[in-house]
Amino acid sequence: MAQILTGRINLSKIPEALIKRNAAGEAFVWVDVAERREPSQYGDTHNISIYDSANRQKIYIGELRPRDIGGATADARPSAYPPKVAPAPIAPRPMNNAQAEMDPSAPDDMPDIF
């Protein structure tokens, strides 16, 4: 069964000085993801951190945990979502008597539904 890492990032812990902008004006931060020696009490197996080189400190901003997504490939949809299936074909709506008069191929015994 395939797995992904899912988790959260505490954006409040990221200093403004570490938020960079690219040529398109998009904001980003460089992050490090490290595996924990042992899982936390909540099942987190990885930490997300950023390094503040000006203050020479590592700032932990989040954690990740594995989640099964089913199937044999990593691009499978998470099991929390229903599988995509094609909708059932919709049967044509029966015609009323006025529509049947306009359509010569319609059967004569159609009930008036309007």
Pairing of strands 32-35, 3-9: unpaired
Q: Supply the pLDDT for residue 2.
A: 86
Q: What is the pLDDT of residue 76?
A: 47
Q: From CA 56, how far away is CA 40, in angstroms rounded?
A: 26
Digitized pLDDT (tens) for each residue of the chain, 114 residues in all: 788 999 999 999 999 999 999 999 999 999 999 999 999 999 999 999 999 999 999 999 999 999 998 765 545 455 555 666 666 666 666 666 655 556 555 555 555 565
Domain boundaries, the chain: 3-81
- How far is the CA of 13 from the CAs of 19, 55, 62, 76, 108, in angstroms? 11, 14, 9, 32, 74
